[in-house]
Amino acid sequence: MPSPWKKVWSITLAIVLISVLFLAACSNNAGTKDEQGSSEKPATAEGGSNDDKKADDALAKYRPVEGKTYEISWSPYIIDPVPDDAPLKKHYEEKFNVKFKLLNLDNKNITELLNLKFAAGEIPDFMSDGVKRENLQQYVKQGVLMELPEEVIKEFAPDLYEKALAYEPKWLKFAMVDGKIYGLPEMVNSGKRTVTVWRGDWLKKVGITKTPDTLEEFEEAFYKFANEDPDGNGKKDTYGLSISGLAGVFGAFGYLPGYSSFDWQDWFWHERDGKIVNGAVQPEMKDALALIHKWYKDGVLDPEFITGENMGGYWALSHSFINGRIGYSGHGHFYHWNERLKDGGIGANYEEIEKLDPKVAESLVHSLPPEGPGGRNLYTDNKVPGKIIAFGRNLEKEPDKLGKILEILNHTSASSIENNLTATLGFKGEMWDVDPETGLNKPIGKWAELSDRVDGKMIFQNQFGVFPAEGPRMDWAKEHNYDVMTRNKLQVALPSESMYKAELIKLRDEAYISIITGDKPIDYFEEFVEKWHQMGGEQLTKEANEWYQEFNN
């Protein structure tokens, strides 16, 4: 007879074997189920899900290599060349373990200089000047720019990503071509409308004590300036306004046609009945042109308006206004007209007028644009004015360098106001400090007498609207009602712009000048509108609305 203990051990062993086989089968089945799409994700060795690991793997190639020294060709906005031993250059090289090869490409010829670089196969790693919405598509087609996956921006420039999107949720859309991101759009948070400034001494001389407000009051002042000898020289040599003053007049009829002295205003689109339309061809502009023609015929509009108000030198100076030829101007930006502020800043036009006659400078009067049948409209900068911070396609061969560049940009431009101030002003206590009397940041020592951009200041940071625009200049603008007015509804370059835009602008300018001067009758406006549509305007309007619909969805 077998021992009873043997029987017990046999039964126990059988149970153990069955249990082991059962657990193994369960384990295999669980694995099979997950491979077939189980909702539960097995943990990785690091404790994350497989999806998290895959995402991390996709970003791994962009992750800067610890201990690696990166050589970065850096093309910033250059006014004066930056020397190799610039203090801020050395500071950031040491901080980030990089070597910057600064490309001192003059901003005045940046497009031509960049194109030469591209043609020679010398594509900068980093470009903060020269790439803009107008040429973004062209450069993408040329294959000189690197695509930026959104997750890469989010991972390696997290402060910038979060703060920029909080300021403008559609931020990255402005740098998209065919649904892919090819740069980081610069943004401004200090946009103010175009200038509206009067010679207060002239207003007083002709008996106007109330600042003109309506279009009729503007017109009255213009006629008095032209006919009542406001400068007291006994000659009929003064005029109400010139080309820069026309923007507010057009705007009083409801639209901005883009006819002006400045290229940032020359292509303006509005929303009308749920669609966007080009301001130049709206029927209200015919009435505006009829009024301006009357002023030209009556000697109220400067007969030399076509050549503009600037006679050379610094572009923002209105020599026609400074020298007493016209009594009203919209030339330049608001900060070209402020008196000396507590931080020492003074507008270029104000300073020139003050040199000639301080009393005239003190008399300047700033007003709102005229109110007309279409309300009040004047240009202001868009949040995204058009410049794109771009990265050379050669970085595809060294994606970890892109990660390093994004880390630098995140630190200097978005991580904190303190870090941004260092990149902008230099080292606190050495290059700048807080003025105890005014509470303002001011350059100190030898830097008080040097250029804003000397020694590498403002070379390693860019504006993304993530820090509020503050200071005496902003306070002055608010006090003088230079708050935001009308933004351009079209904020990208259209696919067919390169084919049609230049000719359409030329057609518009020729038509407007001809109607204003009387070379063409007022009714020529309808013929101009028809030509505008035939010469590409219809196609661009179609593309503009396709973009507008997609952008706003």
- Please tell me whether residues 264 and 322 are part of one structural domain: yes
Largest Cα–Cα separation, the chain = 145
Average pLDDT, the chain: 89
- Please tell me whether residues 289 and 396 are part of one structural domain: no
Per residue in 51-72, pLDDT (tens digit) is: 555 556 889 999 999 999 999 9
| Helix/strand/coil for 207 | coil
Which of these, 345, 367, 377, lies nearest to 474 by C-alpha position?
345
Distance, in Å, from the CA atom of 81 to the CA atom of 70, rounded to the nearest integer, reads: 22
Answer yes or no: is 62 within a domain. no
Indicate if the pLDDT at residue 400 is higher than 90.
yes
Per residue in 138-165, pLDDT (tens digit) is: 999 999 999 999 999 999 999 999 999 9
Indicate if the pLDDT at residue 241 is higher than 80.
yes
Give the total residue count for the chain. 553
Which of these, 427, 415, 440, 205, lies nearest to 324 by C-alpha position?
205
From 479, 503, 518, give the residue that closes a domain. Answer: 479
Rounded to 5°, the CA angle 7-11-17 comes to 145
Answer yes or no: is 40 within a domain. no
- Please tell me whether residues 335 and 224 are part of one structural domain: yes
Q: Backbone phi, then psi, for 110, in 5-degree steps?
A: -60, -40
User: DSSP of 351-394, one letter per residue?
Assistant: HHHHHH-HHHHHT-EE-PPPBBTTB---BB--SS-SBEEEEBGG
Per residue in 497-546, pLDDT (tens digit) is: 989 999 999 999 999 999 999 999 999 999 999 999 999 999 999 999 99
Instruction: Describe the crossing of helices 284-297 and 215-227 by its angle, rounded to 10 degrees.
Output: 20
Element housing 198 (H / E):
strand 197-198
- For 464-488, what is the mean pLDDT? 89
- Please tell me whether residues 205 and 176 are part of one structural domain: no
- Please tell me whether residues 343 and 467 are part of one structural domain: no
Is 195 buried (19+), middle (13-18) or exposed (0-12) by CB count in 10 A? buried
From 479, 512, 536, give the residue that closes a domain. Answer: 479
- For 306-320, what is the mean pLDDT? 96
pLDDT, residue 187, reads 93
CA pseudo-torsion sign 544, 547, 552, 553: positive
Residue 92 CB contacts under 8 Å (≥ 6 apart), including other chains: 98, 100, 408, 412, 460
C-alpha gyration radius of the chain: 31
Instruction: Describe the crossing of helices 538-551 and 497-517 by its angle, rounded to 10 degrees.
Output: 120
pLDDT, residue 435, reads 86
Indicate if the pLDDT at residue 247 is higher than 80.
yes
Q: Backbone phi, then psi, for 101, in 5-degree steps?
A: -105, 95
Answer yes or no: is 42 within a domain. no
Predicted model pTM: 0.76
Contact 398, 64 (CB under 8 A): no
pLDDT, residue 343, reads 81
Indicate if the pLDDT at residue 37 is higher than 60.
no
- Please tell me whether residues 517 and 465 are part of one structural domain: no
User: DSSP of 144-164, one letter per residue?
Assistant: -B----HHHHHHHSHHHHHHH
Answer yes or no: is 50 within a domain. no
Query: pLDDT band at 1, cuts 50/70/90?
Result: very low
Answer yes or no: is 503 within a domain. yes
**DSSP 8-state symbol, 283:** T
**For the chain, first and last CA: distance in Å?**
87
Answer yes or no: is 165 within a domain. yes
Contact 326, 239 (CB under 8 A): yes
pLDDT, residue 51, reads 55
- Please tell me whether residues 305 and 211 are part of one structural domain: yes
Per residue in 172-201, pLDDT (tens digit) is: 999 999 899 999 999 988 778 999 999 999
Which range is most confident: 35-44, 375-384, 406-415?
406-415
- Please tell me whether residues 316 and 415 are part of one structural domain: no
- Cβ neighbour number for residue 124 with a 10 Å cutoff: 24
Residue 317 CB contacts under 8 Å (≥ 6 apart), including other chains: 310, 331, 332, 336, 348, 349, 352
Indicate if the pLDDT at residue 209 is higher than 50.
yes
Answer yes or no: is 39 within a domain. no
Element housing 204 (H / E):
helix 200-205
- Please tell me whether residues 368 and 253 are part of one structural domain: yes
pLDDT, residue 154, reads 98
Indicate if the pLDDT at residue 19 is higher than 90.
no
Q: Whose structure tokens read 């104000």?
A: 350
Distance, in Å, from the CA atom of 416 to the CA atom of 403, rounded to the nearest integer, reads: 19
- Please tell me whether residues 394 and 456 are part of one structural domain: yes
From 479, 512, 527, give the residue that closes a domain. Answer: 479
Indicate if the pLDDT at residue 47 is higher than 90.
no
Q: What domain count does the chain have? A: 2
| The three-state (H, E, C) secondary structure of 315-341, written as one string | CCCCHHHHCCCECEECCCCHHHCCCCC
Contact 349, 331 (CB under 8 A): yes
| The three-state (H, E, C) secondary structure of 290-321, written as one string | HHHHHHHHCCCECCCHHHCCCCCCCCCCCHHH
Q: Whose structure tokens read 């935001």?
A: 484
Which range is most confident: 156-160, 435-439, 482-486?
156-160
pLDDT, residue 42, reads 33
- Please tell me whether residues 369 and 396 are part of one structural domain: no
Distance, in Å, from the CA atom of 322 to the CA atom of 313, rounded to the nearest integer, reads: 14
Per residue in 358-374, pLDDT (tens digit) is: 999 999 999 999 999 99
pLDDT, residue 453, reads 84
Answer yes or no: is 246 within a domain. yes
Residue 365 CB contacts under 8 Å (≥ 6 apart), including other chains: 197, 198, 199, 200, 203, 211
pLDDT, residue 2, reads 39
Per residue in 330-356, pLDDT (tens digit) is: 999 999 999 999 888 899 999 999 999
Q: Whose structure tokens read 């996956």?
A: 149
- Please tell me whether residues 180 and 313 are part of one structural domain: no
Q: What's the one-letter identity of residue 112?
A: E
- For 221-233, what is the mean pLDDT? 98
| Helix/strand/coil for 347 | coil
Q: What's the one-letter identity of residue 454?
A: V
Contact 75, 105 (CB under 8 A): yes
pLDDT, residue 139, reads 96
Q: Which two tokens stand for residue 210?
A: 């109330």
Query: pLDDT band at 21, cuts 50/70/90?
Result: very low
Query: pLDDT band at 50, cuts 50/70/90?
Result: low
Where residue 506 sits, what CATH number does that domain have?
A: 3.40.190.10
| Structural domain harbouring 328 | 197-379+494-551
- For 300-319, what is the mean pLDDT? 96
Indicate if the pLDDT at residue 35 is higher than 60.
no
Contact 265, 258 (CB under 8 A): yes
Distance, in Å, from the CA atom of 335 to the CA atom of 448, rounded to the nearest integer, reads: 20
Q: Which residues pair with 72 in a beta bridge?
A: 100
